[in-house]
Structure 1
């Protein structure tokens, strides 16, 4: 009988946060990033948490359920085309700040967990970091030149998400020959772009952009082969929770997509995700706990 080769240890990452703190990430043992949408038109819960007190209460509830960090977004980035219709309405940086900053300040007073700000606008990121945010989640991957200046100056972590084209039309203009290879190459280019503008490579995370300019089949392929993206050497954030591809494949409405979202989360963890951006924290944490116990028991029995 051949001797069983022990698995390689998971890759670890140490990211520097503002105010002298650190964030440790482990590929395959994902941090749970709870979503707080402070918007009237997000696809999953549009309007429910637009009032500041409702958003703060929701964030605290996600932390009580076991979220390791929170992602606060005050502009819906729902793309246009396909099942999304016309997409979300863009908002001005001023309106985005008006929604975001009171919630961010209130949560910062109540918790020390990392707080991410989901924004495309460098000036919004600057004010959010000054108000206590720890990292920036940029769906435009430095589409705003000011963002690179802000992040480089702050020295904070930055998530670079893959997307092609404009939010308003990207679901109508889907063209890939090999979606995994092309997304990987384009994310690698954005990482190099960020480094060239003064952002440390060790502070950069990548996100395949599930649901942003991809078909349902392409989203599935990206999740199935997430380890190909992890091979870039950057921590991978996976945001598949409640996305439209789950509905396309199963027929489930937005509020009925938890089972499909859990399947994507578990597979993403298996393929090396370091962060899962999720809406349903308690269910995801329970599923991951059991999955990890089963995986460990399976390894001992092999």
Structure 2
């Protein structure tokens, strides 16, 4: 494909330190590629599907189906972010490891484990996971040690509360600046503990310890997060900021989700975490075409 015409200033461009990444068995060039991360939660009280993939066979089937639908990446979680009853590390492992093992055996899709526990991360990596997706801003720094001792990638996410702890009435003087500042410090911690920069992804934490107005502003200013130089993961799918913006319940947030994900990509995101995989894959591939990064699959209209 010929080089595309230059994009409008700033549109779709990010100053990545290491754009080409080998993650698991796949290679991504994040200077001209966006990865779709599917979501499989083995929890009875998951944010969106409310336990639809809690049963092991349902979770494995959903993970394999997501890979077949074009997801580049499948994120497997056993503990919700929201506050709730304590779940032991052993129980978390019982939930996530069989899904990781089954998916690795079936597909070359990138497999990540959504956890804040070092022992769970270590076991998942041994089982074949190639990403540790920590939504607690390295609350336990030993998680970085586990990643540093492997070939896995670490997602460093902005959040303020300890794991599974409520953070009522969040306040920010300048939400984007404060998010970037914390992410920068947490990335420095990961680097200091041996995680190389080519294995770090950052997530600004849409809705995590943030009100809707904070998340909307953070999305508008996502370029400031991308300016850190690491691929940005945008976990916007069906979140409450979309529901509150549009007055839509979770089953009716797909249009808002796709709009938010599109805005994030144009402002610098390179991974989008999405529930509806076929719709997300179509939206992302269309964006890649508009940005000049992907050729059309067909050319019938030209004939």
- Contact between 1:16 and 1:155, CA under 8 Å: does it hold in 2? no
* 1:245–1:89 distance in 2 versus 1, CA, 3 Å: farther
Where does residue 39 of structure 1 map in the other structure?
Answer: 43
Residues of 2 paired with 1:256 and 1:295: CA distance?
A: 28
CA contact (8 A) 1:32 1:67 kept: yes
Counterpart position of 2:20:
14
Q: How does 1:69-108 map to 2 (within 5 A)?
A: 69-78=73-82, 87-108=83-104
Match of 1:214, SS? coil
Taking structure 2 as the reference length, what is the TM-score of the superposition?
0.87
Higher relative contact order (CA 8 A, sep 6+): 2
Per-residue CA deviations over 1:75-133 (Å, capped at 9, x if unaligned) read 1112xxxxxxxx33331111100111111111111011110111000000000000111
Q: Distance in 2 between matches of 1:259 and 1:173?
A: 28
RMSD, matched Cα = 2.0
Structure 2 gaps, min length 5: 293-303
More helix as a share of residues? 1
CA displacement at 1:293 relative to structure 2: 4.0
Deviations 1:280-300 (Å, cap 9, x if unpaired)? 11112222333444455xxxx
Query: How many residue pairs are counted as aligned between the two chains?
Result: 282
Q: Is the 8 A contact 1:31 1:274 kept in 2?
A: yes
**Residue 23 of structure 1: how far off its partner (Å):** 3.2
Gap runs ≥5 in structure 1: 79-86, 297-302
For residue 142 of structure 1, the aligned residue among 138, 142, 152 is 138
**Aligned CA distance change for structure 1 residues 251 and 117 (closer, same or farther; 3 Å):** same
Q: 1:291 to 1:274 in 2, by over 3 A?
A: closer
Is the contact made by 1:136 and 1:158 (CA closer than 8 Å) also made in structure 2? yes
Shift of 1:27: 4.7
> 1:23 and 2:20 equivalent?
no
TM-fit CA distance, 1:143: 1.4
